[in-house]
C-alpha cells in the first residue's frame, strides 16, 4: 500500500505519490520501485491519476502501473469524456483484477483522479475515485476523510466523480493509502488546508502535500519518502 494525495483547485492540480512496493506476504518493502501517478491530456478532460493498493502478482506477470497505462490507451482516454473514461476504466479494472490468481482479499486497489473536464464548452473542476475496497462517509466530521478502508474487497470495482463549479477559489483535497494512524498527519493536513484557504499557488500546495506524505512515511514501512510530485497551474 502507498499514499496518494490529490489537490484540485482553480489555481492548479497537484498529485503526490510514493514509489514503494511492499510484499503481500509480510508487508516488507521490495527492492524494485514503481511509478504510481500518470498525467492524461485529453480532448475533453485533463487529469492526473494515481493509485494505491495491489501492485503486482508474485510472478511479476501483472503490474498495476503497466496495466493502468495500457488500459487508459485501450479505452482511448485521450478522446473520451470523463464519465466514459471512469465507466470504461472501472469495467477494465473489474475484468483485469478478477482474472488474477491472487486471493480476493489481496486485490484491493484505489485509483484517484483530479483535474478539469470540458462540459458544454465550459471548464469544470473534478475529482474522482475508482475503488473496490473503500467505504464512503457522506457526513465526515471536520478533518475526517470521506473515505475509509473496507474490511472486504469487492470483485466489482465502482467509481464516484465529484464536480465543482466556478465559485471563488474552490478546492478539494483527497488522500488515500496506508495511513494506519491518520491522527499522525493531522498537523500536516491542517497546514495543507491552510495553504488552500490562503489561495496558495501550486508550488506551495506541492510542498505541503510532500510534507504530508513524508510524515505518513515516518509511521509505516509501506510508504517511501521517495516521492513523485506533479503540479500543473491553471493559466
Instruction: Write out 147-183 in H/E/C secondary structure.
Output: EEECCCCCCCCEEEEEEECCCCCCEEEEEEECCCCHH
- CB of 16 closer than 8 Å to CB of 228: yes
As a whole number of Å, the CA-based R_g of the chain is: 17
Superfamily of domain 3-233 in CATH is: Aminohydrolase, N-terminal nucleophile (Ntn) domain (3.60.20.10)
Torsion on CA atoms 211, 212, 217, 222, rounded to nearest 10: -140
Paired sense of beta strands 134-136 and 122-131, if any: unpaired
| Calpha distance 185→133 (Å, rounded) | 22
Going by C-alpha positions, the residue among 155, 72, 60, 165 that lies closest to residue 113 is 72
Enter the C-alpha cell of residue 202.
Answer: 501550486
| Calpha distance 2→179 (Å, rounded) | 8
| Calpha distance 228→197 (Å, rounded) | 24
- For 76-110, the pLDDT digits (tens) are 999 999 999 999 999 999 999 999 999 999 999 99
pLDDT > 90? residue 25: no
H-helix or E-strand spanning residue 150? none
- For 116-154, the pLDDT digits (tens) are 998 887 889 999 999 999 987 766 555 556 677 788 999
**Helices 186-197 and 202-217, packing angle to 10 deg:** 170
- CB of 159 closer than 8 Å to CB of 195: no
Enter the C-alpha cell of residue 173.
Answer: 483535497
pLDDT of the residue at 144: 57
Record the pTM: 0.89
Amino acid at each position: 500500500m502507498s499514499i496518494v494525495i490529490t489537490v484540485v483547485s482553480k489555481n492548479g492540480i497537484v498529485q503526490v505519490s510514493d514509489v514503494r512496493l511492499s510484499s503481500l506476504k509480510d508487508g516488507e518493502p521490495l527492492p524494485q520501485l514503481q511509478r504510481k501517478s500518470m498525467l492524461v491530456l485529453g480532448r475533453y478532460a485533463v487529469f492526473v491519476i494515481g493509485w494505491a493498493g495491489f501492485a503486482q502478482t508474485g510472478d511479476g506477470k501483472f503490474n498495476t502501473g503497466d496495466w493502468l497505462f495500457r488500459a487508459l490507451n485501450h479505452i482511448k482516454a485521450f478522446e473520451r469524456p470523463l464519465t466514459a473514461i471512469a465507466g470504461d476504466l472501472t469495467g477494465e479494472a473489474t475484468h483485469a483484477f478478477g482474472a488474477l490468481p491472487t486471493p480476493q482479499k489481496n486485490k484491493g486497489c484505489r485509483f484517484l483522479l483530479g483535474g478539469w473536464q470540458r462540459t458544454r464548452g465550459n471548464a469544470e473542476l473534478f475529482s474522482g475515485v475508482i475503488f473496490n475496497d473503500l467505504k464512503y462517509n457522506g457526513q465526515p466530521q471536520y478533518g475526517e476523510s470521506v473515505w475509509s478502508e473496507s474490511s472486504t474487497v469487492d470483485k466489482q470495482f465502482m467509481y464516484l466523480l465529484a464536480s465543482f463549479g466556478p465559485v471563488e477559489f474552490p478546492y478539494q483535497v483527497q488522500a488515500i493509502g496506508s495511513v494506519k494512524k491518520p491522527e499522525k498527519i493531522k498537523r500536516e493536513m491542517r497546514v495543507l488546508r491552510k495553504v488552500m484557504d490562503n489561495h496558495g499557488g501550486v508550488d506551495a500546495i506541492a510542498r505541503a502535500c510532500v510534507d504530508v506524505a513524508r510524515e505518513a512515511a515516518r509511521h509505516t514501512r509501506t510508504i517511501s519518502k521517495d516521492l513523485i510530485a506533479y503540479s500543473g497551474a491553471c493559466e
